[in-house]
Amino acid sequence: MSSFENKPVDLKNIRITDPFWKTESELVRTEVIPYQWEALNDRVPGAAKSFAMHNFKAAGRLNRYLAEHPDAKAPVFEDPGFEVLPEDDDHIDPDHFYGFLFQDSDFYKWVEAVAYSLTQHPDAELEAVADEAIHTIALAQTPDGYLDTYYILNGRDASFSNLRDNHELYCFGHLTEAAVAYFEATGKDELLNVARRFAEYIAAHIGKEEGKKHGYPGHEIAEMALVRLYETTKDPQYLALSEYFINERGQDPKYFHLEGHRLRNGQTQKDSDEYYQAHLPVRSQDEAVGHAVRAVYLYSGIADIARITGDEELKAAARKLFRSISREKMYITGGIGATHIGEAFSFPFDLPNDTNYAESCASIGLIFFMRRMLQMEPVACYADVMERALYNTVLSGMALDGKSFFYVNPLEVFPEADIRDERKRHIKTVRQKWFGCACCPPNIARLLSSIGTYAYTENEDTLFQHLYIGADYEKKMKEGNANVSVVTDLSDPFCLKLNYRIDHAPAGFRLAVRRPEWCDDMCFDGVKDEEVTFRDGYFYISKDWKPEDEIKAAVTMHAKLMRADVRVRDDIGRAALVLGPTVYCLEEHDNGKELMRLAVAHDTGSSAVETEERDIGGRKVVGLKLPGLRLNGPSQDVLYTEISEDPETFEEVTLHFIPYYCWCNRGENEMSVFIRKL
């Protein structure tokens, strides 16, 4: 076996050829990135202002002023609150901080998406814009390396005083992700150096050693970002800081309690330790709890550190947290976060369909976590979950035209309830153009524009294909480069055809292809039995490669009527239709009002499902139809009636399903993933 260092493929060496995924990343390039740049610069008419670039510029001016006036006093902190808005557009103070206190991160996410996009589609003009913006950021960094415009502008004396709530380390994490991505994409290190200097500043002030704050991030991300910074720079101090964050979290005495005591004079805290995953040391955590995005960002960091250090306890914790999510707390769409209260995981099997949160960002974070689990140990179940989250919740998060976004991804929408019932006010019945707290759109952008690094990872000799996304990749090996070209063909909705062309692969090259949990069968053509080993859900193909070798695979599947574990109270007696990784749903548009009247007869099986070609939002997609029933009535003018006097009656109908990710691309209407099964 080769040394095991499973890492994402180099984005600069991969070219996504898959039409579907090319379309998605092109939407990011042509729609999301330009729109977001306008938003970051407060140039979108009618939209809430971001103030992100405003704040960086203001911080830069303050730095210059203080440098030029050595006797001038820096601002002294007075808590301006979580979100600061100007009275009106006419009263914007150019030297004042505005927006959410984590507003800096919006810019960083944009840079990160730009970086990925540049690897796939070089664009000198965009790169010049990014370069200039990065320089603005660099000027905002204070001489000692600190960088968070909220505190720079409102008073550095309070920096790191509220690690739990005030997102400095969160912004640092996004800065670092962006810096590494931009460096890797362009070779330019201005932002990388900004991130390194801030990382060093943090390490000088936060840590185990006496005299430092023994804290850790309230909103995790720095953990995985620091690992990335370490892997790019090879500087072990970043790895050490990440390890410290992972190891210190949840230890007694709890840092957030001490900090809260200082901040609030001992008053009780609003949020629980679970919200921040700080209730237990991470090695003792075995249930996914709290804010779902924070949780999976932390778990990503755990998987990273476990992989690098080989710490078996940490690996065991990561596996338990994965199991907690995938076995007890995940929607069939790969959504996580069953409650909007705290945007959090609920308790096991509590998965309501119509009041859930299932934030786009949480499923993106779940994908981060799964990719890192695959790097830790390539077991197909992680890719199965990654794929489910990607093909359903993440894709649903963005409209088919790339112009609007869901933050929350319900599995059941009844617009009257969502509009009139304030309990569901977090559920939007149509995608929004932008958000004040604009985390999801840029997060979708950075994921989709780097999708190749989730579809494929590699170690020294093996190229792993986790997702069936067509691409060309040039794998660099000691013995020479292997050119791999993967073409996916889904013209038969029940059989995914994969065509691998491997050119000039050195003898040691190995291709590892995942067998998806949803397939009926997966068979190869062009390889002999003895050339294939199956382990942990992957087919490992080693052979004496010919110059223009070709392997074909056929992955057969059928449409499945699925049900949830009986302990999922909200899904009892209900079915969901799934084809491959794609979850389907009913829309009012195709099935009429009051979707709750629809049902599938007891004896209707998967064999009754037929495909139908659909055109939704200008895209050709595979629809599914099957015979169903529609509840009649009411036939009596009373609210409650004796069943024997007035039994349920049904009319026969044809049910039309579309992929969940296509829902709400034809205006506001009812939607449901689950349907009553009689």
Which residues would be at the binding site for its own copies (CB under 8 A)? 326-328, 330, 332, 339-342, 346-347, 350, 355, 414, 416-417, 420-423, 560-569, 572-573, 575-576, 594, 596-597, 599, 605-606, 631-634, 637-644, 646, 648, 676-678
Pick the closer one to its own copies by CB: 355 or 375.
Answer: 355
C-alpha closest to that of 605 among 551, 646, 669, 558: 558
Respond yes or no: is residue 361 known to be catalytic. Answer: no
Interhelix angle 33-40/104-120, rounded to 10 degrees, is 150
Token digits for 294?
């924070």
Cβ–Cβ < 8 Å for 111, 133: yes
**Phi then psi for 60, rounded to 5 degrees?**
-60, -45
Minimum CB distance to its own copies, residue 343 (Å): 12
Minimum CB distance to its own copies, residue 602 (Å): 9
Pick the closer one to its own copies by CB: 447 or 559.
Answer: 559
> CA 301 to CA 231: how far, in whole Å?
13
Pick the closer one to its own copies by CB: 343 or 549.
Answer: 343
Quickly tell me which residue has 């007869």 as its tokens: 601
Pick the closer one to its own copies by CB: 134 or 579.
Answer: 579
Minimum CB distance to its own copies, residue 435 (Å): 22
Q: What is the dihedral of CA 427, 429, 435, 441, to 10 degrees?
A: 100
Instruction: Render 37-85 in DSSP notation, one character per residue.
Output: HHHHTT-STTSPP--HHHHHHHHHHHHHHHHH-TTPPPP------SEE-
C-alpha closest to that of 499 among 455, 537, 430, 548: 548
Marked catalytic residue, from 248, 274, 343, 387: 343
Minimum CB distance to its own copies, residue 677 (Å): 7
How far separated are the first and last CA of the chain, in Å rounded? Answer: 52
> CA 346 to CA 344: how far, in whole Å?
6
**CA 319, 382, 302, 254 torsion: positive or negative?**
negative
Quickly tell me which residue has 């670039």 as its tokens: 53
Token digits for 532?
């294939």
Respond yes or no: is residue 495 known to be catalytic. Answer: no
Marked catalytic residue, from 439, 440, 585, 664: 439
Minimum CB distance to its own copies, residue 326 (Å): 7
Q: What radius of gyration do the chain's Cα atoms show?
A: 26
C-alpha closest to that of 319 among 358, 283, 364, 362: 283
Query: Which residues make Cβ contacts (< 8 Å) with residue 252, sequence separation at least 6?
Result: none
Minimum CB distance to its own copies, residue 422 (Å): 4
Pick the closer one to its own copies by CB: 257 or 560.
Answer: 560
Pick the closer one to its own copies by CB: 350 or 489.
Answer: 350
Minimum CB distance to its own copies, residue 129 (Å): 40
> CA 114 to CA 105: how far, in whole Å?
14
Minimum CB distance to its own copies, residue 31 (Å): 33
Pick the closer one to its own copies by CB: 48 or 631.
Answer: 631
Interhelix angle 360-376/440-448, rounded to 10 degrees, is 40
Pick the closer one to its own copies by CB: 535 or 567.
Answer: 567
Strand partners, 598: 630
Active site amino acids: 343, 439
